[in-house]
Amino acid sequence: MLSCSAEVKEAIASGKPVVALESTIISHGMPYPQNLETALRVEQVIRTEGAVPATCAVIRGGLTAGISVSEMELLAQGGPQIPKASRRDLPFLVASGSNGATTVASTMIIAHLAGIRVFATGGIGGVHRGATTTMDVSADLQELAQTPVAVVCAGVKSILDIGLTLEYLETFGVPVVGYQTSDFPAFFSRDSGFKVDGRLDTPLEVAKLLQATWGMGSRSGVVIANPVPQPYHQPYEKMEGIIEQALEDANKAEVKGKAVTPFLLARIEQLSGGDSLKTNVELVCHNALVAAQVALQLSQLS
């Protein structure tokens, strides 16, 4: 059921640093060919830091850590036609021998099965705005509560209710670390008005925290909140106005379930004149850089 590329398998066996990557961002997060270009660039960022990238996906029914370039192109060209695979979708895709683009939750599952401890993504899912009525809460949060993988991200997607998301993570004992910041980032923006549980300023400090977390028997993941680089930061107030408009458009179009996030991200790109996509690309690459540095330190500690 689990398949690792030869490179990933060798790296894990020899204790080399490995960084897991999701594939939903390829099929559902960006248009072609920018999605493929970004995926390849992210992998190169990780290699440059001395770590091995392991882009995860469901390929012909197999949970795969380390897909090939041709498989990456398949996901990129397939776009939204490729099923978006979270935890509950995996059994269906495996049983039917289908392909699937993994979310944060399902990538954490594959990474944990493979023995990969560090994962880089754009932003995690969370509690959606209006969830007190809709009960729309991402499976990413429950996965963070029960799967020991560190997730380097630019906070949660800013289309979500950030305050309630942080409350959920606190309830389930998931540490939220600010990397070189005391502010919790809001994906496109470097701050959200909320604080992190603690600030750490070097990859070694983060690696020691991960070692301490799992060394005491905790089964939870760890959120490493890494703000987008300053040159690509979008003012929070500006993005809030755009997001509110996108949410209103989604309601009018009666977009529901899994289709909500891709719809909103596409609409936000339109409303921001492409600025949001540029920021998205750069924050993913920056998260990959930090994840590789943390994975390297963790491998040396181990």
The 8-class DSSP code of residue 229 comes to P
Q: What 8-state DSSP symbol labels residue 143?
A: H
Q: Rounded to the nearest 10 degrees, what angle do helices 260-271 and 275-301 cross at? A: 120
Choosing from 73, 143, 157, 269, which is the catalytic residue? 157
Let me know if 9 is a catalytic residue.
no
Task: From the candidates 9, 22, 208, 282, give the one annotated as an active-site residue.
Answer: 22
- E-strand ranges in the chain read 2-4, 18-21, 52-59, 62-65, 84-85, 101-102, 118-120, 150-153, 176-179, 198-200, 222-225
Question: Does residue 157 carry a catalytic annotation?
Answer: yes
**Cα-Cα-Cα-Cα dihedral of 200, 201, 202, 205, to 10°?**
-20
The set of residues, in sequence order, having a beta carbon less than 8 Å from that of 231 and lying 6+ positions away, is 282
Are 208 and 255 in contact by the 8 Å Cβ rule? The answer is no
Residues annotated as catalytic are 22, 157
